[in-house]
Structure 1
Amino acid sequence: MTTPECYACGKEARIDELPPRECVAHDEHWRVAHAFNTALPGWLVLLPRRHVAAVHDLTDAEAAALGTWQVSLSRALRSVTGCAKTYVVQFAEAEGFAHVHFHIVPRMADLQPEHRGPRVFELLRRPEREHIPADRADQLAGAIRAQLQGPLGRADR
């Protein structure tokens, strides 16, 4: 079930029309998108494909796949971006974004101290001129998808 006023559900309703950056990969439970309005290449968002407002409302099948997705995406990001680690964060509190979603954020070795930990979200508040362009996000999506289908991931993603 999707909810019309929900941003994520609106995208889900058009999944077959989405550009690579908005559907990096998916299975029956989860969809991966490159974050928009970010200054950090490779910032991913993992979303359930049905409307879920709280983690405790995930089905057992969604929950079982969640950890696999988080690890597979972290491995793919390490391969594609060379990040030192990934941050995995879930709040789902912003207006219009109450749909559960997990941020899978590549933490580069040279990330400035003022952007480490929860302060990485400042990279979602940078001026538009610093945002990752759509074509670059599409390129990253393709590279991440290839990693998910390779030895690090599963062919069904």
Structure 2
Amino acid sequence: MDCYTCVRTGDPEGLPPRESIAGDEHWRVAHAFGSALPGWLVLLPRRHVTAVAELTDAEAAGLGTWQVRLSRALAEVTGCAKTYVAQFAEAEGFAHVHFHVVPRSPDQPEELRGPRVFGLLGKDAAAAVGPEEMDRLAVRLRAALAAG
């Protein structure tokens, strides 16, 4: 299978903290890679799904709960004013449905608000949040989710 998400989800025990922040039988939470914004999360179904309409009722029931829980944890850990939630799943190799849960800081520049925040995704390694920072945030987010 040529699906990055399915390949990564296949070995959940071998994933670093940034790729397995939280989850349940239907969903896995990871930090987005190539993002210049610390705390940019992706919520991924554990099975291969390419359209929201393909979600089972059980998967759909958990979706809203996860989005709210992640938004609360991000507010606690990053101090964000709100979160943006978006789903496209159109990029080559990333047709697997995934939801972006993006923290918007209180002082985020106007030119990076709303859909323009996607200007912070797809960055090269020099501009992106590093693996150590993603892992550090993952540990803090796990603790906030456990407490909340």
Which TM-score band (shorter chain)? over 0.9
Give the drift of 1:125: 3.3
1:64 matched to 2:66? The reply is: no
Count, aligned residues: 148
Using the aligned pairs only, state the percent identity: 64
Runs of 4+ in 1 over 4 A off after TM superposition: none
Q: 2:2 aligns with which of 2, 5, 10?
A: 5
Q: TM-score, normalised by structure 2?
A: 0.98
Match of 1:136 in 2: 133
CA deviations on 1:19-73 (whole Å, 9 max, x unpaired) are 0000001100000000001100000000000000000000000000000000000
Moved more, 7-16 or 68-77: 7-16
Q: In structure 2, which of residues 71, 94, 113 is the aligned counterpart of residue 74 of structure 1? A: 71
1:34-45 matches, within 5 Å, as 34-45=31-42
Unaligned runs of 5+ in 2: none
Q: Where does the alignment leave 5 or more consecutive residues of structure 1 unmatched?
A: 153-157
d(CA) in 2 for partners of 1:94, 1:130: 20
CA shift for structure 1 position 15:
1.0
One-letter amino acid of the structure 1 residue matched with residue 138 of structure 2: A
When the two chains are superposed, the root-mean-square deviation of aligned CA atoms in Å is: 0.8
Matches of residues 14-33 of structure 1 in structure 2 within 5 Å?
Answer: 14-33=11-30
CA distance in 1, matches of 2:55, 2:122: 29
Deviation of 1:127 after TM superposition, in Å, equals 4.0
Does residue 96 (structure 1) correspond to residue 93 (structure 2)? The answer is: yes
Q: Which residue of 1 aligns with 2:119?
A: 122
Q: Could you state the TM-score of these two structures normalised by the residue count of structure 1?
A: 0.92
Q: How much does 1:113 deviate?
A: 1.0
Q: Distance in 1 between matches of 2:122 and 2:95?
A: 19
Correspondence for 2:46: 49
Match of 1:155 in 2: none
Which whole-Å CA distance do the structure 2 matches of 1:149 and 1:67 have between them?
17
Structure 2 CA distance for aligned equivalents of residues 114 and 10 of structure 1: 35
